[in-house]
Structures are given as structure tokens and as C-alpha cells.
């Protein structure tokens, strides 16, 4: 059996073993659904922008809110009013572009259940501006909201997190740690980008968010049942920019390449993280690869990590 055949078999086995059959689980289980798996910020006809869904019993959490998040929630069978919380990993627009739709549709549809948005400093200002942007439309729409329940911010709260924070959401505990996504920026005044660990009885899931190699993320990942990681091949990504965007000035390319190499996860680094933290299974999202490039990336991961590995598509559940 050749290496390519063995690799294809490994990927197929991972794909068959990880996604849960609908209705198969009777007891509550912590699950992770990839609503949008694009790496952004360039729209992709096959993948929505970054967003995911964490569920345990009746608790539902939206993780990041890239463009189209509300639509993908509907496809996953979750109403906006079913959400208990939203966790934003960082304020890049491919992770926040769907917040306006989420909040404005929540208002127009008449949902009044409490919703808390968690994320790095700057999230409150972002949400305040989005609520203000909803304002001009409030008199032009007919809502199902009961009298006396207020405006678009009714029932809405925002909590800005620091690295090391731990937050309970129903029976899910969410832990945040700073990752390395902004490491090329000056330390003073640098924005915060975080990875999240979701824990519920019987399972722990580590979501890297956008990051490069990070000792803190590796520490938080220890003993995870599932590692959900971003992935990018910096060399291929730069080649793609040169091919598709000849308008990008030459001086910008070294800056972009440094960002790709230091603040995103190359396949080899993903494999090292999964192996080092003892993750029982690995899922890739925020995929900055063309489909034809995925087998090569899978081989690089397999050179470091022998566990089940799955390159997610939108609406996969693990």
C-alpha cells in the first residue's frame, strides 16, 4: 500500500469516526460545529466566513461571527434566540462581519432572551456602534417584540475578557488564553487575540482561534479530547497572493509573509501542537488552502501527529 493510499485511508477513517450521526447521542455531549471554515478575508464560494457553534444539552454558544453566521446557525437548526452566548476570538473583520446581521435580526425577530457577548477589549465599542447602526431602521420595521422590551440592546450584555479568564455558560466552562496572532505588532497597545477551551462533563475542546505557534495555547490544550485548529501554508499563501493579486505593492509582501509565518499555523506546527498536547483528535478549520493543497498539508500533519485528523467543511459536527 503506497503512502498516498495510506494517507487517504487515514483521512477517511478520521472523517467517518468523528462526525456524529444526527440523533445518535442520547446523553448530552459537548459538540463543535464548524459553521464557516473560510480563512478570510477574501469571500469563498465554497466556505462561509469564520464561525462555529458549541453545544451541550440546551446550551448553545456561537464562536466568532463571520459574515453569514446567522444564516449558518439556521442551517444548523439553531435560532438566534437559542444562543446563550457569543465568544469572539479577536476583532478581525472576517470574525466579526456577521455581528450586525445577528444583532439586527435578533431585534427584528422579537427575541428577548438574554444574550452575552464575550471577547477581547474593543468588543464593547464594536457592539455599541453596531447597535447605533441598527437605530435608523427600528422605526421602519415591524417587530414581534413585546411592548416595553426596549430597543436592539434589550437583554444584551458585553463582557470584555482578559487572558486567563474563565466563564461559565450553563454547564459549559469557557477558558480564554492569549495566543500569538498579533505578535508582530508592538507590545504596547497590542490588541488581544485569544484561544478558547470549552469544557463540559465528559469532554474538553480546544479552539485555537487565529494563532501562530504559542506555548500558552499548547498549555491550555493539554488533555483535550478535540483540538480545533486553524491552518495555513505560508509559502503557498504568498504564491497565491502573487498570482491572484498583482496589485498588492511589493513592499507589503514581506510584511504579509511575516504575519503568515509567525501568526498563523503551518501544517507542521499544527501536527506538533496536536501531538504535544495529547489531543485525541484534530479538526482543521479557518482553512487557508485550496482543496488540491489539502492532501499535502495532511501529509505534513501526519508526519508529526498520528491521531484522527479531519479537514472540516461548513456544517460538520464533531
136 belongs to a structural domain: yes
The per-residue pLDDT for 66 is 98
Q: Which residue has the higher pLDDT, 119 or 254?
A: 119
Spatial separation of the C-alpha atoms in residues 212 and 195, rounded to whole Å: 11
Find the CATH number of the domain harbouring 216. 3.60.15.10
Spatial separation of the C-alpha atoms in residues 172 and 84, rounded to whole Å: 11
The per-residue pLDDT for 22 is 52
Does residue 273 surpass a pLDDT of 70? yes
86-109 pLDDT, tens digit each: 999 999 999 999 999 999 999 999
The per-residue pLDDT for 102 is 98
83 belongs to a structural domain: yes
> Residue 232 in 3-state DSSP?
strand
2-45 pLDDT, tens digit each: 444 344 344 434 443 445 445 544 789 999 999 999 998 989 99
99 belongs to a structural domain: yes
Q: Which of 180, 201, 202 is nearest to 191 (CA)?
A: 180
The per-residue pLDDT for 37 is 98
| Domain count along the chain | 1
1 Cβ neighbours under 8 A, 6+ residues apart: 9
Range of the domain at 146: 3-15+29-317
Q: Give mean pLDDT, residues 266-294.
A: 97
The per-residue pLDDT for 1 is 44
Q: Which of 40-44, 115-119, 121-125 has the lowest mean pLDDT?
A: 40-44
20 belongs to a structural domain: no
Handedness of CA 21, 23, 29, 30 (dihedral sign): positive
Q: Which residue has the higher pLDDT, 195 or 246?
A: 195
117 belongs to a structural domain: yes
21 belongs to a structural domain: no
Q: Give mean pLDDT, residues 288-301.
A: 96
Computed over every residue of the chain, the mean pLDDT equals 91
> Is the whole-model pTM more than 0.75?
yes
For residue 203, the surrounding DSSP H or E stretch is: strand 203-207
31-40 pLDDT, tens digit each: 999 999 999 8
205-264 pLDDT, tens digit each: 999 999 999 999 999 999 999 999 999 998 887 788 888 888 988 888 888 877 887 889
129-145 pLDDT, tens digit each: 999 999 999 988 877 78
107 belongs to a structural domain: yes
Spatial separation of the C-alpha atoms in residues 279 and 273, rounded to whole Å: 8
23 belongs to a structural domain: no
Quote the DSSP letter at residue 136.
Answer: G
Amino acid at each position: 500500500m503506497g503512502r498516498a493510499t495510506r494517507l487517504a485511508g487515514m483521512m477517511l477513517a478520521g472523517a467517518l469516526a468523528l462526525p456524529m450521526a444526527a440523533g445518535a447521542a442520547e446523553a448530552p455531549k459537548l459538540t463543535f460545529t464548524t459553521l464557516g471554515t473560510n480563512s478570510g478575508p477574501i469571500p469563498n464560494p465554497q466556505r462561509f466566513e469564520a464561525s462555529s457553534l458549541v453545544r451541550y444539552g440546551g446550551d448553545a454558544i456561537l464562536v466568532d461571527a463571520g459574515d453569514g453566521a446567522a444564516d449558518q446557525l439556521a442551517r444548523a437548526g439553531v435560532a438566534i434566540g437559542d444562543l446563550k452566548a457569543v465568544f469572539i476570538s479577536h476583532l478581525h473583520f472576517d470574525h466579526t462581519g456577521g455581528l450586525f446581521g445577528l444583532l439586527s435580526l435578533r431585534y427584528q425577530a422579537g427575541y428577548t432572551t438574554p444574550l452575552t457577548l464575550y471577547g477581547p477589549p474593543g468588543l464593547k465599542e464594536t457592539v455599541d456602534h453596531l447597535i447605533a447602526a441598527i437605530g435608523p431602521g427600528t422605526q421602519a420595521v415591524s417587530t414581534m417584540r413585546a411592548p416595553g422590551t426596549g430597543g436592539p440592546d434589550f437583554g444584551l450584555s458585553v463582557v470584555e475578557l482578559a487572558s486567563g479568564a474563565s466563564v461559565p455558560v450553563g454547564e459549559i466552562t469557557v477558558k480564554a488564553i492569549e495566543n500569538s496572532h498579533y505578535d508582530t505588532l508592538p507590545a504596547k497597545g497590542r490588541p488581544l487575540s485569544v484561544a478558547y477551551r470549552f469544557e463540559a462533563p465528559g469532554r474538553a475542546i480546544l479552539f485555537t482561534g487565529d494563532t501562530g505557534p504559542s506555548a500558552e495555547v499548547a498549555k491550555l490544550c493539554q488533555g483535550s479530547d478535540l483540538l480545533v485548529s486553524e491552518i495555513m501554508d505560508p509559502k503557498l499563501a504568498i504564491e497565491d497572493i502573487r498570482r491572484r493579486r498583482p496589485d498588492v505593492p511589493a513592499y507589503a509582501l514581506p510584511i504579509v509573509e511575516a504575519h503568515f509565518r509567525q501568526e498563523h499555523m503551518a501544517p507542521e506546527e499544527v501536527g506538533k501542537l496536536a501531538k504535544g498536547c495529547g489531543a485525541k483528535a484534530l479538526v482543521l478549520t479557518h482553512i487557508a488552502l485550496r482543496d488540491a493543497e489539502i492532501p499535502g498539508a495532511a501529509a505534513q500533519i501526519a508526519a508529526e501527529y498520528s491521531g484522527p485528523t479531519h479537514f472540516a467543511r461548513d456544517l460538520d459536527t464533531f
